[in-house]
Structure 1
Amino acid sequence: MTPAQTPGGGADELVQATEIPGLLVVRLGVHGDSRGWFKENWQRAKMVAAGLPDFEPVQNNVSFNTDAGVTRGIHAEPWDKYVTVASGRVFGAWVDLRPGESFGRAVTLELGPDRGVFVPRGVGNAFQTLEDGTAYSYLVNDHWSAAARESYTFLNLADESVAIEWPIPLERAELSDADRAHPRLAEVRPMAPRPVLVTGAGGQLGRALSRALPGAVAVGRDELDLADQASVAAFDFSPYGTVVNAAAYTAVDAAETPEGRRQAWATNVAGVAALVDAARRHRATLVHVSSDYVFDGTRELHPEDEPFAPLGVYGQTKAAGDALVSTLPRHLVLRTSWVVGDGKNFVATMASLADRGVSPSVVDDQHGRLTFTDELVRAIVHLLAVEAPSGTYNVTNGGPTQTWADIAREVFALRGRDAADVTGVSTQEYGAGKDLAPRPVHSTLDLSRLEATGFEPEDAAAAVRRYLAG
């Protein structure tokens, strides 16, 4: 049996935690005189600053109960809820019906006008009125519908394993027939979290994400084309709690052409704006992959808060996309560089040249670190798992800064070739006669913010060895 628990935290705290993760008790100041009383029932700025999630309510409901003993629940709903009492007193009981170690854990608490409770999605709630003429209200962050009710999870009020001690015994309480018929805990299927949506499933990052997130729904361009506003408008984002955007226009050189410029802006800006709008409407976290190209490369090490200074069209569109994503209350921007995944990439090309006896000329005046897609995916999974604060995180493999020529020589040596077979050339020499977009001279990203979350980047040299061995 999991006993009922009382809130934790000091008595002076405005928002107090409980034994159920995410279930929060809010202390409300009630100011009264002979005329009655007044309270700030919902004060967004103050409550969010004190630790309540900024859950963006869209609907306010009121439950008036004529008699003491009216008992409703236990219902877990597919939205977040903030409950307060307007008159009378209520005994509240909450049971975690989400999968995990706290499944079946209960918290009970008496509510009057001086207390509110924030109930996260998937936590079952039940209320028993203790006085006649009791009214309580609740804010929710999605609109009620008959379809939404189909995704409720229910638990019987009399479940013996949870063993809630109702002040008014259930045999003397007023219950609906539906509430009497709800299943016991052993028969309850936990309410699963909202699934992850991965866009750009056909790309190298999208494929890596699909392997790492087997429960995710991955969609390619044929199902969701960010460059096509009609495609985005027609897509149903409502089931998803997290959207990982692995779709982007990444043809850096082609972006400098008239047609490429239009395509880059359509996908990386207009498409991202539509994703931001969808994530906002459906309370989803948006994970967006950015690029070192948002910087001009004049600094040798780039922190997350460095001002944008893109050199070319691709970088301009990525910077604009980053700015749009940052307006969301729940977002992660992962800024990366020199990406290597399955399919065509720099490491595979150098290995092929080495195997075929070719001695290439490789740029030796651009500086940065490789980012293997598996490392980027590992960082995404980690940041979501630890519920990292919204914001931008630099993500690359670890190790020293290198040039492209350094990496090529490393690959040649691993293939049994003499590293001296790689000739270093300047960007200007390499680009002679070619239509190349401008590139940052320095692309090394500061990883300290990512590391502060507990993530340890794999050394790039070790990743190259593993990649070539595979």
Structure 2
Amino acid sequence: MTDASDPTAFGKKLTATPTPIPGLVVWDLPVHGDARGWFKENWQREKMTAAGLPDFGPVQNNISFNDAAGTTRGIHAEPWDKWVSVATGRIFGAWVDLREGPTFGTVFTTELDPSKAIFVPRGVGNSYQTLAPDTAYTYLVNDHWSPTAEYTFLNLADETAAIDWPIPLDQVEISDKDKAHPRLADVTPMAPRKTLVLGANGQLGRALHTLWGDQPHIEYATRADLDLTRPDLPTARRWRDYDTIVNAAAHTAVDTAETRHGRTDAWAANVTAVAALARIATAHGITLVHISSDYVYDGTSDRPYTETDPVNPLSVYGQTKAAGDAIITTVPRHYILRTSWVIGDGHNFVRTMQNLAQRGIDPRVVDDQTGRLTFTPTLADGIHHLLTTHAPHGTYNLTNTGQPTTWADIARTVYHLTGHDPARITGVTTTDYYATTTTPIAPRPHHSTLDTTKIQNTGYSPTPAEEELATYLREVSPTSGTHGARG
């Protein structure tokens, strides 16, 4: 036990000291003592997270007791985070970054006594040598031990790491297993935690695939790959291995959602499935990115909608999206991206207009709904920006910028940019457009313009919609068939 008269053990403030290994941070702990001994708060979530410690959600507490000075253990990198401290005694600790990336192989060493602790992020190799007998090395971890988890190891005597052990390794107790670990040149780096993109075949899913590619730690899933309504979803994957889920899947058949069966499907996909994702993300510390819609608003505002404006959906689809948003806000690490009028790789309004122009058709197009187009590369880039800059969690509006337009305005621009006469477009009201329709039609918000100031303040500036439209038309060919002139 630390001597109660030791001045290094008492009077410290809770203080964090970064190391050369990203995320590896040494902490001084307040220790209070007298002639009887000492007391410390070894883990205090509220104080420590306020001071900058990640809220890493520990679920297991382990203690390694070592009889003799010189006992040496490691170097082990596990797929979870650790909060390491010493209960009694002293250790010389050595940590090596075994994660993929530019700091792979970086070494940090220091001594720990009961007045110090260290936060060890996932993938950083942990090892120590006891400097006193009867030393108890303790650590909190944020995942339960599993034999199926992927570990990474490094030999204690690796010449590249060149750790200067206080007691030579040939004079200490080391397990045969630790002696057999590979040298740094033969170590397989620990991959980052995974990113899962749901709705991989949708317009946004395809844009994210184009942006992120086929990196080993990024997975793309369709409903056939992972049904979010399955009862065993909590155990369908080893969720602790995931860092981010992007929910680009949704029931978006706005008019169908007004029918009996469509209403059931919309609530199942946009609410029930979202609730299942929210539970998983909360339980495993996953960042959940969720795509929302301008349909959560009633469209009566005379100015662009901000993220703090109250929702008032007009349609079943809008109601399910608003309900899904409310659920997502309960996830500690979440981004809700409200967007509108999405255009990407697949059937959409712009392709329909392009096709009609080529076929010589003069369509009637709604001219009393106002908003902005959102091209999926912009949406994908915005998601990437929020994740990589670690922007504050919360709700963000994201569309392309520029002057708000109507669907008829956009149709005329498409005709113009593809070499056709924009006067061939006839503008009509929403009521007139659907006057002869006998199936249920969802009410639309007449004003859907979203204010993008908040996301621009994080450093991301969406491009003007008209520029993106011109680029889009240069790069794609019209698709066969039409899906209506409304969009």
Structure-2-length-normalised TM-score: 0.89
Deviation at residue 326 of structure 1 after TM alignment:
1.8
Is structure 2 residue 272 aligned with structure 1 residue 267? no
Q: Could you say which residue in structure 1 is the equivalent of 2:363?
A: 360
SS at match of 1:110: strand
Q: Could you say which residue in structure 2 is the equivalent of 1:221?
A: 223
Aligned partner of 2:460: which letter?
F
Deviation at residue 400 of structure 1 after TM alignment:
2.0
Query: Compared with structure 1, are the counterparts of its residues 257 and 464 closer, same or farther at alpha carbon in structure 2 (3 Å cutoff)?
Result: same
User: Residues 399-418 of structure 1 correspond to what in structure 2 (within 5 A)?
Assistant: 399-418=402-421
| Length, aligned pairs only | 457
Query: Compared with structure 1, are the counterparts of its residues 28 and 428 closer, same or farther at alpha carbon in structure 2 (3 Å cutoff)?
Result: same
SS at match of 1:316: helix
Q: Answer yes or no: is the 8 Å Cα contact 1:279–1:285 preserved in 2.
A: yes
Query: Compared with structure 1, are the counterparts of its residues 42 and 398 closer, same or farther at alpha carbon in structure 2 (3 Å cutoff)?
Result: same
Q: What per-residue deviation string (whole Å, max 9, x for no partner) do you get for residues 127-163 of structure 1?
A: 1111111112111111002222xx1111111222222
Is structure 2 residue 72 aligned with structure 1 residue 71? yes
Q: What per-residue deviation string (whole Å, max 9, x for no partner) do you get for residues 221-240 of structure 1?
A: 222223x3337356325343
SS at match of 1:159: coil
Query: Compared with structure 1, are the counterparts of its residues 19 and 244 closer, same or farther at alpha carbon in structure 2 (3 Å cutoff)?
Result: same
Aligned partner of 1:286: which letter?
L
Q: Answer yes or no: is the 8 Å Cα contact 2:400–2:462 preserved in 1.
A: yes
Q: Answer yes or no: is the 8 Å Cα contact 1:24–1:118 preserved in 2.
A: yes
User: Residues 39-50 of structure 1 correspond to what in structure 2 (within 5 A)?
Assistant: 39-50=40-51
Q: Answer yes or no: is the 8 Å Cα contact 1:363–1:403 preserved in 2.
A: yes
Deviation larger for 278-287 or 409-418: 278-287
Deviation at residue 12 of structure 1 after TM alignment:
6.0
Distance 2:103 2:286 in 1: 23
SS at match of 2:231: helix
Aligned partner of 1:166: which letter?
W
Q: Could you say which residue in structure 2 is the equivalent of 1:443?
A: 448
SS at match of 1:260: helix
Q: Could you say which residue in structure 1 is the equivalent of 2:53?
A: 52
Q: What per-residue deviation string (whole Å, max 9, x for no partner) do you get for residues 440-468 of structure 1?
A: 22222222222233323122111111111
Compute the RMSD of aligned alpha carbons.
1.8
User: Residues 311-326 of structure 1 correspond to what in structure 2 (within 5 A)?
Assistant: 311-326=314-329
Q: What per-residue deviation string (whole Å, max 9, x for no partner) do you get for residues 270-306 of structure 1?
A: 1111112222333322221111111222332122232
Aligned partner of 1:67: which letter?
A
Q: What per-residue deviation string (whole Å, max 9, x for no partner) do you get for residues 327-347 of structure 1?
A: 122222222110112221111
Deviation at residue 16 of structure 1 after TM alignment:
2.9
Q: Answer yes or no: is the 8 Å Cα contact 2:14–2:29 preserved in 1.
A: no
Q: Answer yes or no: is the 8 Å Cα contact 1:14–1:47 preserved in 2.
A: no
Distance 2:347 2:397 in 1: 24
Q: Could you say which residue in structure 2 is the equivalent of 1:37?
A: 38
Distance 1:61 1:452 in 2: 43
SS at match of 2:148: helix
Deviation at residue 56 of structure 1 after TM alignment:
0.7
Structure-1-length-normalised TM-score: 0.93
Query: Compared with structure 1, are the counterparts of its residues 406 and 13 closer, same or farther at alpha carbon in structure 2 (3 Å cutoff)?
Result: farther
Q: Answer yes or no: is the 8 Å Cα contact 1:202–1:221 preserved in 2.
A: no
Q: Could you say which residue in structure 2 is the equivalent of 1:456?
A: 461
Query: Compared with structure 1, are the counterparts of its residues 292 and 188 closer, same or farther at alpha carbon in structure 2 (3 Å cutoff)?
Result: same
Aligned partner of 1:111: which letter?
L
SS at match of 1:365: coil
Q: Answer yes or no: is the 8 Å Cα contact 1:367–1:401 preserved in 2.
A: yes
Distance 1:233 1:138 in 2: 26
Aligned partner of 2:453: which letter?
S
Distance 2:349 2:17 in 1: 52
Deviation larger for 383-392 or 228-237: 228-237
SS at match of 1:248: coil
SS at match of 1:321: helix
Deviation larger for 266-275 or 364-373: 364-373
Q: Could you say which residue in structure 2 is the equivalent of 1:152?
A: 151
Distance 2:435 2:233 in 1: 40
Q: Could you say which residue in structure 2 is the equivalent of 1:6?
A: none
- Structure 1 residues without counterparts, runs of 5 or longer: 1-10
Aligned partner of 1:380: which letter?
I
Is structure 2 residue 296 aligned with structure 1 residue 294? yes
Distance 2:311 2:138 in 1: 46
SS at match of 1:298: coil
Q: Could you say which residue in structure 1 is the equivalent of 2:399?
A: 396
SS at match of 1:262: helix
Q: Could you say which residue in structure 1 is the equivalent of 2:205?
A: 206
SS at match of 1:243: strand
Q: Could you say which residue in structure 2 is the equivalent of 1:249?
A: 251
Distance 2:238 2:469 in 1: 37
Distance 2:183 2:250 in 1: 48
Deviation at residue 63 of structure 1 after TM alignment:
1.0
Identity %: 60
Distance 2:75 2:275 in 1: 39
Q: Could you say which residue in structure 2 is the equivalent of 1:334?
A: 337
Query: Compared with structure 1, are the counterparts of its residues 17 and 284 closer, same or farther at alpha carbon in structure 2 (3 Å cutoff)?
Result: same
- Structure 2 residues without counterparts, runs of 5 or longer: 1-11, 476-487
Deviation at residue 122 of structure 1 after TM alignment:
0.6
Is structure 2 residue 390 aligned with structure 1 residue 387? yes
Q: Answer yes or no: is the 8 Å Cα contact 1:354–1:417 preserved in 2.
A: yes
Distance 2:141 2:340 in 1: 40
SS at match of 1:171: helix
Q: What per-residue deviation string (whole Å, max 9, x for no partner) do you get for residues 361-418 of structure 1?
A: 2222222111112221222222222233322222212222221122111111112222
Deviation at residue 194 of structure 1 after TM alignment:
2.0
Query: Compared with structure 1, are the counterparts of its residues 45 and 307 closer, same or farther at alpha carbon in structure 2 (3 Å cutoff)?
Result: farther
Deviation at residue 118 of structure 1 after TM alignment:
0.9
Distance 2:273 2:205 in 1: 17
Aligned partner of 2:319: which letter?
Q
Query: Compared with structure 1, are the counterparts of its residues 461 and 80 closer, same or farther at alpha carbon in structure 2 (3 Å cutoff)?
Result: same
Q: Answer yes or no: is the 8 Å Cα contact 1:237–1:282 preserved in 2.
A: no
SS at match of 2:427: strand
Is structure 2 residue 307 aligned with structure 1 residue 308? no
Deviation at residue 243 of structure 1 after TM alignment:
1.6
